[in-house]
Amino acid sequence: MYYIGVMSGTSLDGIDVAITEFSSNGSFQLIAANTYSFPDELHRKIKRLIIEAHSSLHELGCIDIALGQLIGNSINHLLIEHNILNSDVMAIGSHGQTIFHYPINDTPFSHQIGNANVIAELTGITTIADFRQRDIAAGGQGAPLVPAFHKALFSSDTEDRVIINIGGISNISYLPASAEQPVLGFDTGPGNTLLDHWVNVQLGRTFDAYGKWAATGKISEQLLSTLLNETYFTKSIPKSTGRELFNPSWLDSMLSEFSANLAAEDVQATLVELTAQSIAKHIHKYTPNSKTIFICGGGAHNTYLLSRLQEILEPKRITTTEDLGLHPDWVEASAFAWLAYRTINKKPGNLPSVTGAEHSVVLGAIYPA
């Protein structure tokens, strides 16, 4: 039977849909995948909702439904393209679009939208959504959830492995070879989100392809150390973050002291360095003995970022999850197919050592076909 995973992260670059197959012996196969971009108006509205945190309840309701429609239609499109019947799909795991992630204080929450009733209705497939909330109810951060999938798919009993997912935000999974040692996983800080913002403001591009523009700049050590002073980087684990912290206002407040003396490309180079160094600091602190670092997420395409990581982390080796048999673009969406598979089989989807939850729980709400 097939399971479908759907993911749309903080980058808002589109909705990733992965059709996967899990067999009863636990083996996993990616059958097909694609990214579906947001129509311009919906993209603008979601951005307004997330970045400016300005929307009426009416608009929030409309965006929730429109996203559900886009996700449902995208799934149907991919299934038709690959001649797979909807009735052959056991379940869809839809992460949804995070509009607010606030896993702290007395009333922690993480809210995702993209109406799952609409997805189930449009596809006729059982849909699972709201994966993060039960983990939070059990005392966890609700994030990151992908390390459990990384463990299932990528761990080895002969070598420690580190997976870094560089989406809008970056997260790490540390998969020790020894079963006695717990898997660790947390957000290391920004991934592409500040890079996308800065190149958009300066050059009007949605992202800096291959980091080519950043590579023309000069890293400002002064700006870098100011950025690295952010307390999130030294906060103890478990921890998770999002655009609620690493957003344009955060960057502007840091830049206000420097921008007069810095060329725009120097800022971009420094932001790449911030992503690379914040990832590297966490690798050194939590996984000092790791030898190979496997990158996934859109950041795997940023050649300049990868070269910075390689230089900073020498003699560790930087490669991508392609080496482990899964293309870096489809790891996160595949993770939500796996989480759906876990939920349907009444198996826990969270790792308490990662999210900080008091116990493991079956995640998600089920919207039957």
Question: Which of Mg ion, ligand ADP, none interacts with 268 (beta carbon under 5 to 8 A by kind)?
Answer: none
Q: Which stretch binds Mg ion (CB under 5 A): 10-18, 153-161, 259-267, 341-349?
A: 10-18
Residues whose CB falls within 8 Å of the CB of residue 109, separated by 6 or more in sequence, listed in order: 100, 102, 103, 133, 136
Residues 297-356 within binding reach of ligand ADP (CB under 6 A): 297-299, 301-302, 332
Using the minimum distance from each CB to ligand ADP, give the nearer residue, 207 or 250: 207
Contact track, ligand ADP, 232-271, x by CB under 6 A: ----------------------------------------
Q: Which of 246, 296, 298 is nearest to 271 (CA)?
A: 246
Q: Which of 41, 40, 31, 37 is nearest to 2 (CA)?
A: 31
User: In the structure, how many helices (H) and strands (E) does the chain have?
Assistant: 13, 12
Residue 297 within binding range of Mg ion, rule CB under 5 A? no
Using the minimum distance from each CB to ligand ADP, give the nearer residue, 306 or 351: 306
CB of 107 to ligand ADP, least distance (A): 26
Task: Report d(CA 74, CA 37) in Å as an integer.
Answer: 10
Residue 144 within binding range of ligand ADP, rule CB under 6 A? no
CB of 108 to Mg ion, least distance (A): 25
Q: Which of 332, 193, 329 is nearest to 272 (CA)?
A: 193
Using the minimum distance from each CB to Mg ion, give the nearer residue, 30 or 138: 30
Q: Is the peptide bond before 248 cis (omega within 30 degrees of 0)?
A: no
Task: Report d(CA 362, CA 344) in Å as an integer.
Answer: 9
Query: Which stretches within the chain are classed as H helix?
Result: 40-50, 57-81, 116-123, 131-137, 146-154, 193-203, 212-215, 221-228, 248-255, 264-286, 303-313, 331-344, 352-355
Residue 10 within binding range of ligand ADP, rule CB under 6 A? yes
Residue 5 within binding range of ligand ADP, rule CB under 6 A? no
Contact track, ligand ADP, 159-198, x by CB under 6 A: --------xx-----------------------x--xx--
| Of positions 3, 5, 9, 72, contacts ligand ADP by CB under 6 A | 9
The residue with its CB nearest to ligand ADP is 298
* Assigned token pair, 29: 């196969």
With 0-12 / 13-18 / 19 or more C-beta atoms within 10 angstroms meaning exposed / middle / buried, residue 346 is exposed
Using the minimum distance from each CB to Mg ion, give the nearer residue, 13 or 64: 13
Applying CB under 6 A, the residues found at the interface with ligand ADP are 9-11, 13, 167-168, 192, 195-196, 207-211, 297-299, 301-302, 332
Applying CB under 5 A, the residues found at the interface with Mg ion are 9, 11, 13
